Amino acid sequence: MDCVFFNYKSINPEITGRNLKNMIKAKGFDVKDIQKILKLSCPQPIYRWFNGVVMPSLNHMYVLSTILNVHMEKLLIGGYADICDVDGFEFESIASRVENMAEYLCRTYM
């Protein structure tokens, strides 16, 4: 039985999006300003960042950190995630992981 547990810090897109929105607003920029600076054809990607739907590209993060005068790490907000990989299956929640591990053990050893 191969079960590898990972306990790592990953980026939380929703909280990162709110952080970006707050930092941009605090520096006096609005969405149109950011759109022009990043040479985006429309503002939708910025709203998608703010809502945590997608993350900015690495290049956009670099430009944002430059115009906001902060390190890129200050733009990103992390959260912990743990994953158990059992024969190729990923279970993200602890309850789900325990339940699925129990089922796996019953099938394998009973």
Q: What is the DSSP string of 67-101?
A: HHTS-HHHH--EEEEEEEEETTEEE-SHHHHHHHH
Number of H helices, E strands in the chain: 6, 3
Listed residue (28, 64, 27, 26) closest to 45, CA to CA:
64
Q: pTM for this one?
A: 0.65
Question: Is residue 108 very low, low, confident or very high in pLDDT (cuts 50, 70, 90)?
Answer: confident
Q: Across residues 11-16, what is the average pLDDT?
A: 89
End-to-end Cα distance, the chain:
14
Edge-first strand order for the sheet with 89-91 is 3-11, 78-86, 89-91
Distance CA 24, CA 57 (A): 16
Q: Of 15 and 84, which is predicted with more confidence?
A: 15
Sorted by where each begins, the domain ranges of the chain are 3-7+79-109, 13-75
CATH number of the domain at 13-75, please?
1.10.260.40
Between 102 and 30, residue with greater pLDDT = 30
Q: Are β-strands 3-11 and 78-86 bridged in parallel, bridged antiparallel, or unpaired? A: antiparallel
Per-residue pLDDT of 42-96, as tens digits, reads 999 999 999 999 999 999 999 999 999 999 999 998 875 544 444 444 444 555 6
